[in-house]
Each structure stands twice: as structure tokens, then as C-alpha cells.
Amino acid sequence: MKIIISEFIDASAVESLASHFEVHADATLVDRPDALRSLLDDADALIVRNRTQVTPALLDDAPRLIAVGRLGVGLDNIDLAACAQRGVQVFPATGANARAVAEYVIATALMLLRRAYLSSASVAAGEWPRAALSSGRELAGSTMAVIGFGAIGQLVARLARALDMRVVGYDPQQPASAACWSETGAQCVTFEHALRTADVVSVHVPLIDATRNLLDADRLSMLKPHAAVINTSRGGVIDETALAEALRQGRLGGAALDVFADEPLKAASPLAGAPNLILTPHIAGLTVQSNERVSTLVAARVKQALLDHRRHSQQSEKIST
Ligand code: NAD
């Protein structure tokens, strides 16, 4: 059986698959769609990250496909309905990069509220901007609003509570009676309440129709002027132009964005040069440890699916002979 891997993956996960199957792992395939499609012609499984678009057209070029492994958790690059229609199972790395994302949120929250850690160049130049950098805030006693209280949102809540933050959260799928609130020490509130009370807002929702532009100009205007917004979920969930304007006009204290409506972010983006803004290239979930966990988990799930399929095929052959 043959597995195609079109984006980067931990080497040990490739080795674990290669002892059972023919594996073609080439991280350049995501940028060579024609080569990818021709390799998929007789492939049984495809493993991707977030850049390979698993569309109906791509699936049509992969008639034998049984499984798609996703080295991450967001599934917006995979047409789930088209996979289901063709009997292709999809295996995300649920939970495996949550810690990396949650640590990113805490690190950027500390930086954005304190507003003092980006002073290396001016201190080294002899400027000594002590007065300008003396009015930052502490996380302790501040309020973290978690929008989307799933796997990552709940871990963010735990880490924020460990730093003595107050945590409020909003998630239409998690009623106030759900155990996740009491287990994490967070308070279930309405979306508007979360925005109005937050010193830090961290967004952890999937990108779906209901969450597109979830933080638009109106919602951003509900935030305190010193509040910080952190988005590690998906671009498209926040109106980037409205966010940049709010930062420039001092209606928002800071922001950290790891994901963008259009990736890579274009140099002419309205975000360029906005104050107290941390921009990172979709790496919140990527660490040495999370890459190992994600790759190992997805490889194991795809391997199991192929072995199960092989066993069922052999059993059906036996019955029919
Ligand atoms: P999850 O499915 O465990 O949780 C998502 C939660 O969002 C669910 O509880 C759901 O009920 C909630 N939700 C849905 N619609 C909502 C709405 N309108 N308002 C508020 N909540 C809503 O997912 P997760 O594993 O916690 O991941 C969250 C997001 O983080 C995903 O979009 C994923 O793609 C993204 N992510 C990014 C990175 C990165 O590197 N930047 C890494 C991992 C995950």
C-alpha cells in the first residue's frame, strides 16, 4: 500500500510507516500540485498539514484513497463532505499541538500587556526608554477571555488560572452546566460579556460560516482600550483591517496574530507597522515536541486505518473464494 506525504513531517513517523508501506514523503509536493496529483493516482493514503487543499478535484485524482491524515487539527483545508462521499476517512492530530498553542497565548499575553520586552534595540542604542516602558500590566488579576472553549481554549484557561488570571469563556456548544468550566476554573459568559470584561481575548474557534469575521469592527469596539487580542485559530475570524485601525487609533492595546485571512501575509497588509502588534507565520502549534507528537499520532492513525482496510479486504476475498 502506498502513502503520499505532501508537507513536512517528523522523520521517525516516516520510518514507522515505511516499515509497513511504500512511503513517498516530499515536503515540496504541496507547491507542485501536478506532481502530487500524479502520485495520488495509486495512493492509499495522503498525509497533509494545512497548506495542501484536499478538494473534490484532488480526490477524483486519487481513486484508491482510504485515508487522509492531517498533521494538525484545523480541517478547513479538507473538504470533509467530499471525503465522506468517497468513503475517505480523515484523521486529525486532535490535542497533539494544544500545549504549543496555549504556551504561545500565554507568552504573547505577557508581552502585550507588559509592552516592555521589545526594547532591545533602543536600550542597546543607549536610549534608556524607562519612563515609556514603566506602565505595563501584570497578568495576575487581569481577565483572560477565551472565545471557543474546546481543547486549546480549555488548556489556555488552565495556564491562565495558574498565573492567577480570572478566566471567562464563551462557546455556544458548551452550556454553563458543562464540566469544562468548573474543571478549568473558568466562568461561562455571553460573547459580549467576555469582550467587555477582557484584558486579553484569545480566540480558539474553527473557521466556519458562523465564525467568519467573528471579531469585526463592532465587536472590537466593545474591548477596553488597553485590551490585547490574540488569534491563533484561523485568519478570517478577525477583521484584520478593523484590528489595524483600532491599534493605530489607540482603541486597542495590542494584538498577536499567528494566522491570517491570506497566508503568507502580503507586505502591503494594513497590519504592517501597527503598534504593539506581534505577527508570526502560523507557528503557534509548531514546536519540536508538538511536531513529534502530531507526526507520531497521525502516522499511527493512518497506519491503523490501512492495516484495518487490508485485513477487511483479505477477509472479503476469502469469503468470496
Ligand atoms: P476544538 O474543536 O477542540 O474547539 C473549538 C471550539 O470552538 C469548540 O468547542 C466549538 O464549540 C467552539 N466554537 C465553534 N463555533 C463557535 C463560535 N461561534 N463562538 C465560540 N466558540 C465556537 O478545536 P481546538 O483544537 O481547540 O482548535 C481551535 C482552533 O485552533 C482551530 O481553528 C484550529 O484550526 C486552530 N489551531 C491553530 C494552530 C496554529 O498553529 N495556529 C494549531 C492548532 C489549532
Q: Tell me, what's the pLDDT at 165?
A: 98
User: Which residue's CA is the nearest one to ligand 1's atom 8?
Assistant: 150
User: Which residue's CA is the nearest one to ligand 1's atom 11?
Assistant: 173
Measured from the CB, is residue 74 less than 6 Å from ligand 1? Answer: yes
Ligand 1: centre distance to CA 279 (Å):
20
User: Which residue's CA is the nearest one to ligand 1's atom 2?
Assistant: 150
User: Which CATH architecture best describes the domain 98-279?
Assistant: 3-Layer(aba) Sandwich (3.40)
Secondary structure class of 203 (helix, strand, coil):
strand
Q: Tell me, what's the pLDDT at 316?
A: 83
Measured from the CB, is residue 105 less than 6 Å from ligand 1? Answer: no
Measured from the CB, is residue 149 less than 6 Å from ligand 1? Answer: yes
Q: Are 161 and 180 in contact (CB under 8 A)?
A: no
**pLDDT tens-digit profile of 286-302?**
999 999 999 999 999 99
Q: Quote the CA–CA distance of 251 and 309 in Å, as a whole number.
A: 56
Atom of ligand 1 nearest to the CA of 259: 41
Q: Tell me, what's the pLDDT at 319?
A: 82
Q: Tell me, what's the pLDDT at 320?
A: 78
**Residues designated catalytic:** 234, 263, 282
Q: Which of 50, 73, 190 to mutate to test the pocket of ligand 1 (most atoms within 8 A of CB)?
A: 73
**What share of the chain has pLDDT > 90, as a percent?**
96
| One-letter amino acid for residue 1 of the chain | M
Q: Tell me, what's the pLDDT at 25?
A: 97
**pLDDT tens-digit profile of 206-253?**
999 999 999 999 999 999 999 999 999 999 999 999 999 999 999 999
**pLDDT tens-digit profile of 53-63?**
999 999 999 99
Q: Using alpha carbons, select from 65, 28, 27 the residue that is nearest to residue 45.
A: 65
Q: What backbone phi and psi angles, to 5 degrees, belong to 72? A: 160, -170
- How is the chain split into domains, by residue range? 2-95+288-320, 98-279
Q: What totals of helices (H) and strands (E) does the chain contain, helices first?
A: 12, 12
Q: Are 6 and 30 in contact (CB under 8 A)?
A: yes
Q: Is the pLDDT of residue 321 over 80?
A: no
How long, in residues, is the chain? 321
**pLDDT tens-digit profile of 75-96?**
999 999 999 999 999 999 999 9
Ligand 1: centre distance to CA 233 (Å):
6
Q: Tell me, what's the pLDDT at 93?
A: 96
pLDDT level of residue 318 (50, 70, 90 thresholds): confident
Q: Do domains 2-95+288-320 and 98-279 have the same CATH topology?
A: yes
Measured from the CB, is residue 181 less than 6 Å from ligand 1? Answer: no
Measured from the CB, is residue 284 less than 6 Å from ligand 1? Answer: yes
Q: Quote the CA–CA distance of 80 and 88 in Å, as a whole number.
A: 9
**pLDDT tens-digit profile of 105-140?**
999 999 999 999 999 999 999 999 999 999 999 999
**pLDDT tens-digit profile of 9-44?**
999 999 999 999 999 999 999 999 999 999 999 999
Q: Which CATH class is domain 2-95+288-320?
A: alpha beta
